[in-house]
Amino acid sequence: MEAIPDQTDSEFFDTRMTNTDPNIAPEGIAITGMAGRFPGAPDVAAFWDLLLKGEEGITRFTEQEMLEAGVSPETLANPDYVRASGAIRGADRFDAAFFGFSPREAALTDPQQRLFLEIAWHALEDAGCDPGRFDGLIGVFGGAGMNSYFIKNLLVHPELTGEPISLANAITNDKDFLATRVAYKLDLHGPALSVQTACSTSLVATHLAVQSLLAGECDLAIAGGVLVTVPQTAGYLYEPGGIKSPDGHCRAFDAGSQGTVGGSGAAIVALRRLEDALAGGDRIYAVIRGSAVNNDGAGKVGFTAPSMDGQAAVIAEALAMAGFDAGSISYVEAHGTGTQLGDPVEVAALTAAFRQTTDRRGYCAIGSVKTNVGHLDAAAGVTGLIKTALSLYHRKIPASLHFKEPNPEIDFESSPFFVNARLRDWEAGEGPRRAGVSSFGIGGTNAHVVLEETPQASSGDVPAQAQLVLLSARSAIALERASGKLAAFLAERPASLPDVAYTLQIGRKRFRHRRTVVAGDSAELAAALEKRAPNSVYTREDPADTRPLVYLFPGQGAQHAGMLDGIYRSEPRYRRALDRCAEMLEPWLDVPLGELLQDGDMLGETRYTQPAIFSVSYALASLFEAWGLQPDGMLGHSLGEYTAACLAGVFSLPDALRVVCARGAAMSACEPGAMLSVSLSE
């Protein structure tokens, strides 16, 4: 059993962005997080690297591997048997304890449901969302492929499963419980819907998540799909005219296309209303501006056949919802299975939909991620969505592989499309970069999503200063692994340290093994984590989720010239609170507070010391309040008692300042050892 990382392998951290452009339309759904496991790529970062390199993630098994997996020599001898599949690593591994599974429950649960749960966790982490602290409802929408694990593994071991149709077996293996299991294990309270429409499942789930967000049913949603075939080491028999390729390659839109190749995988996106994502400073990969779902009905030659009319209608509807002219779309991630019937129908449908608003030819690139990782069935649609969102984010369009010459059954010359056969920069046009993503399921349920690049927004003005960076994990080993991964990431790709600190503090669940690091920039943070420098890295185990917080306010003697000047310059909330105190002190002090705080000699005089310390302490507590810190108790030494009393509501701020000034003046005037009496009427 292999534990999943306690900290996500996220490629990015939240950026504190604010929408300052009045031309940015707030309508739309932002993709704020994503996660996945793909053939040849264990995570999204590796997936994007695979796409950029133009590589294929399909595994080609040796004869010995197939024999060891139980494939018979007779089957291997069949010339039509293809020893290829989009396998994924670690499909048999699961951190049961992390998600509260008993070993038996984990063993009886469909690996698809286990993997979907893991990917859901990572997608929320990538979105910077700790469900326990998220202010709103989180929904789950997703579906799975056929459960081959139950058929091939559990049913042959009745001593484990007992009665095959028992409720226990249904709960751990039935597709109905995919979404609700995630909601239960992660404590999510929005809609939890399992969606099943064959190959279009995950993109249909995305459409439903979009609709739920727009309707206000939830405030963040995760949507996706999963397919895990058992066993992973397996090939298939090629059937002429079928959907499977004779050589294990998918050649979408090519003259030599003869089908696709199957694969396992899981993919999930995290979605928020755009206005909420902008207000929250979320990192946004891309924006969904329109989506649509329909069905072919009976208007096709057979149940499994595609329908040009149905596909064209769903694409046109999504464009209409977005309010886009098709001429503004510069890339389409197609369903692109590489089948002799499917590809020509798809391009004809796209052309028919685009021709409703544009007559342009040959301007829009088209491609299919199935040429890289195969057909991932229930996870296929969101896999294409993730590819396209990353393309918009990085402004690069990866190559659609294995394309040499166009399928002669496809009329590219009079269409808006050309096959994107090489990696290219996504050049800007007159407007924002836009794309479409299609996914069509056997049985006729079609889905199309229209995307737009992330709105240009200004980065928050965060001055350079030291940051407190927090890491936590369920075990000491996991904490070391998380620290090493963060150090390696920052060493390779320096990031904004305030963004890193914010994401790790706010967007991660807290576990008992904790590490804090103080650093001035990402390079210093990476070095500190690598060396575990004792002067800047502090590690401890804390079984409590929260600790009581007590403020201890100092009395006279803690003052020094220029105290908290750095915080005054860098923290607006502290600055406003201190300036407010300075304004209120004007009737009782003959020196401005700002000038007083810089003069060590005057700070040595009690009549000045006490209002200065009070004001600084009060302003610092106001800053802590702005950070969300609420004390369970407050104590003060001497003068500090007045600060605590003011913050507790015993005094108003003006009254407290007046009393402190009177107290300081009286103490300065009295002889050593004399009793002090302060008149509040002064």
| Catalytic residue IDs | 199, 335, 375, 638
Measure the CA–CA gap between 300 and 437, rounded to whole angstroms. 22
Count Cβ atoms below 10 Å from residue 52 Cβ, excluding itself: 14
Cα dihedral sign for 452, 455, 456, 459? negative
Measure the CA–CA gap between 21 and 476, rounded to whole angstroms. 45
Q: What is the DSSP letter of 99?
A: G
Task: Name the one residue in this structure whose structure tokens are 């040849």.
Answer: 40
Measure the CA–CA gap between 251 and 374, rounded to whole angstroms. 10
Count Cβ atoms below 10 Å from residue 592 Cβ, excluding itself: 12
Measure the CA–CA gap between 337 and 370, rounded to whole angstroms. 7
Burial of 433 (0-12, 13-18, 19+ CB in 10 A): buried
Task: Name the one residue in this structure whose structure tokens are 């990572």.
Answer: 122
Measure the CA–CA gap between 335 and 314, rounded to whole angstroms. 13
The CA distances from residue 681 to 29, 596, 656, 658, 659, in Å, are: 60, 26, 13, 10, 10
**What type of residue sits at position 23?**
N
Task: Name the one residue in this structure whose structure tokens are 């990538």.
Answer: 126
The CA distances from residue 264 to 261, 334, 339, in Å, are: 10, 19, 19
Count Cβ atoms below 10 Å from residue 587 Cβ, excluding itself: 10
Q: What is the DSSP string of 561-612?
A: TTTTHHHHHH-HHHHHHHHHHHHHHTTT-SS-HHHHTT-HHHHTSHHHHHHH
Task: Name the one residue in this structure whose structure tokens are 């700002």.
Answer: 594
- 8 Å CB contact between 272 and 126: no
Count Cβ atoms below 10 Å from residue 124 Cβ, excluding itself: 28
First to last CA, the chain: 74
**Sequence-distant (≥ 6) Cβ neighbours of residue 49 within 8 angstroms:** 41
Measure the CA–CA gap between 257 and 262, rounded to whole angstroms. 15
**Sequence-distant (≥ 6) Cβ neighbours of residue 601 within 8 angstroms:** none
Give the dihedral of Cα atoms 334, 336, 340, 341; nearest 10 deg.
-50
- 8 Å CB contact between 283 and 397: no
Measure the CA–CA gap between 387 and 613, rounded to whole angstroms. 56
- 8 Å CB contact between 173 and 147: yes
The CA distances from residue 262 to 124, 131, 168, 238, 453, in Å, are: 28, 34, 30, 12, 30
Give percent helix, percent strand, percent coil of the chain, each to the nearest 5.
40, 20, 45
